[in-house]
Amino acid sequence: MTKPNYALGLDYGTNSVRALIVDVKNGREVGTAIHAYETGEAGIVLDPSDPNLARQNPADYVKGIEVSVKQALAQARRHDKKFDPANIIGIGIDTTGSTPLPVDREGVPLAMKKDFRNNPNAMAWLWKDHTGHAEAAEITALAAKEHPEYLAKCGGTYSSEWFFSKILHCLRSDPQVFQAAWSWVECCDYVPAVLTGTTKPEQIKRSRCAAGHKAMFNEAWGGLPSREFLAKLSPKLGALRARLYDKTYPSDVPAGKLTAFWARKLGLKAGIPVAVGAFDAHLGAVGSGVDKGKFVKIIGTSTCDVCVWPSNENLPDVPGLCGIVDGSVLPGYLGLEAGQSAVGDIFNWFVNEIQPGGPVKGSHEALTRKAAKLKPGQSGLLALDWNNGNRTILVDQRLTGLLLGQTLHTRPEEIYRALIEATAFGALTIIKRFEEYGVRIEEVINCGGIAEKNPLVMQIYADVTGKEMKIARSAQTCALGSAMAGAVVAGKEGGGHAGFAEAQQAMSGVRKKTYKPVPADHKVYGELYKLYRQLHDAFGTKEWAGSLYNVMKDLLNLRDRQLRGE
């Protein structure tokens, strides 16, 4: 019997980082640990006067490596006396995104420098930071006019959650930080650079996935948007382009080798390969077994939908998608990404902020139990799932939640169920958009905490979409996907795998338990979806007479004015 080989996956989520050690032969997870970021509220730096702001301290990312990996190794040792860290053959990393951070000439995050300590603008701009919404609109408008091709692959609208919206907003709102930043680095590029000692901006192997989905990078037009284009937004942004990057890489390419410093610190073998980073959802899709016809939903605080399409087969641009990027998920395939800006976050908001009745009355469990007894449509309620804007298909952060149909008899569990249903209708809207443009969806594989732990949510998703819902075998598919990347960069000769297809075959799968649509409920949801779509189009689009498109925007503008005291 040969000694088992392991790969290490690091998964940087919104509130914490997880380390996972996996047997590359069969996907067995032998050790895992989570470290919660220490700065801010649940790891997020907020601004009470600006609900759009969400930042993170990059020092939390670095500390998280050590704490989570050491604990995961300890757990592996506890469970298997023969476990040997020297058998870890490669490392992969996924993170949230677009989460760019400004760095100096040496690649040191500005937030780690004395001059900028405690300045949120010098920190990492977390994916859900929406301070750049005006800049996003500006970028969209300019691209629509001068380079429609830039938008065609990212759904037709450049989002406030993305790379250039954030950087341009920093340039406008905190020129000192912008000026001090030699370059800007995605979190998923920063962590591999730290581990491989390649933090100088020009050394960093940038992620194809981050660049393609969030920074309009495409080899067809020579990489990032042109200097001229960026300069029209601001001459300084144009000048920054040369200090960004021209090349990008998928995660089957090594970013470098683990430095002696980090090997010693973590107790791993120096020189093992570290894969180029990618976004959590993309490696999560890999860890869930994404493939042609297999649609992966990563359901957490928000939802990411990922599928792939052979690069050599024709696919039209799909309006409203977050992105279509060659090689962003699997080499040789277009990676297609869509998503919902808030899913679990909406349920958490209702349970923790609005209905905090404690474990007996107002917990997720109690509400789920009662909500499960309701029939579709029985409450008379209908909600829109836009409490954090709409990522797909409207690509509009300046949208807000809506609850309709409440009477004096409406109960909390009815609202809870209506919120679940709203996210299911949002999910269906995305699936329909894919299918309308010819992307066949033969299998839906769900992963993430909610997919695993809330059968009611999965059943409602099945009933609403009319599709069977499967659940990925691993409870931590993002970290598993990262570990797979680690196994792939180790290569066959290094004890790993020849490519992602082989790694998926060996290391991923789905569970026995699936959720099948109940025909009668699917029918009722068909009626409700028509009404959802009516509200969706009324508040989310401006195409027709009598549109209510202005309402949410006017309210947000008034809110912002009042908060600023104007």
Residue ranges binding its own copies (CB under 8 A): 51, 342, 345-346, 349, 353-357, 361, 375-382, 387-388, 400-412, 415, 524, 527-528, 531, 534-535, 538, 544-548, 550-552, 554-556, 558-559, 561-563
Which of 436, 112, 90 has the alpha carbon at shortest distance from 251?
90
In whole angstroms, give the CA distance from residue 168 to residue 219: 23
Q: How far is the CB of 409 from its own copies (least distance, A)?
A: 5
Q: Which amino acid is at 49?
A: S
In whole angstroms, give the CA distance from residue 321 to residue 338: 5
Cβ proximity to its own copies: between 404 and 498 the closer is: 404
In whole angstroms, give the CA distance from residue 508 to residue 486: 14
Cβ proximity to its own copies: between 170 and 351 the closer is: 351
Tokens standing for residue 553: 């925007």
Q: How far is the CB of 256 from its own copies (least distance, A)?
A: 38
In whole angstroms, give the CA distance from residue 264 to residue 285: 32
Backbone angles phi, psi at 429, to 5 degrees: -60, -40
Q: How far is the CB of 557 from its own copies (least distance, A)?
A: 9
Cβ proximity to its own copies: between 82 and 409 the closer is: 409
73: Cα within 13 Å, side-chain hemisphere: 18
Are 251 and 226 a contacting pair, CB within 8 Å? Answer: no
Q: How far is the CB of 45 from its own copies (least distance, A)?
A: 15
Q: How far is the CB of 377 from its own copies (least distance, A)?
A: 4
Q: How far apart are the first and last CA of the chain?
A: 73
Cβ proximity to its own copies: between 515 and 529 the closer is: 529
Cβ proximity to its own copies: between 300 and 376 the closer is: 376
Cβ proximity to its own copies: between 38 and 554 the closer is: 554
Cβ proximity to its own copies: between 14 and 288 the closer is: 14
The 10 Å Cβ neighbour count of residue 500 is 27
Q: Three-state SS across 52-76? A: CCCEECHHHHHHHHHHHHHHHHHHH
Omega before residue 98 within 30° of 0, cis: yes
Cβ proximity to its own copies: between 4 and 526 the closer is: 526
Q: How far is the CB of 61 from its own copies (least distance, A)?
A: 23
Q: How far is the CB of 382 from its own copies (least distance, A)?
A: 6
Q: How far is the CB of 27 from its own copies (least distance, A)?
A: 34
Q: How far is the CB of 478 from its own copies (least distance, A)?
A: 22
Cβ proximity to its own copies: between 5 and 99 the closer is: 99
Q: How far is the CB of 523 from its own copies (least distance, A)?
A: 11
Q: Where are the alpha helices (DSSP H) in 215-308?
A: 227-233, 235-240, 260-266, 280-288
The C-alpha angle with vertex 108 and arms to 104 and 111, in degrees rounded to 5, equals 90
Cβ proximity to its own copies: between 35 and 55 the closer is: 55
In whole angstroms, give the CA distance from residue 318 to residue 251: 25
The 10 Å Cβ neighbour count of residue 276 is 27
Tokens standing for residue 243: 């200090």
* Cα separations in angstroms, 331 against 254, 335, 455, 482: 14, 9, 33, 15
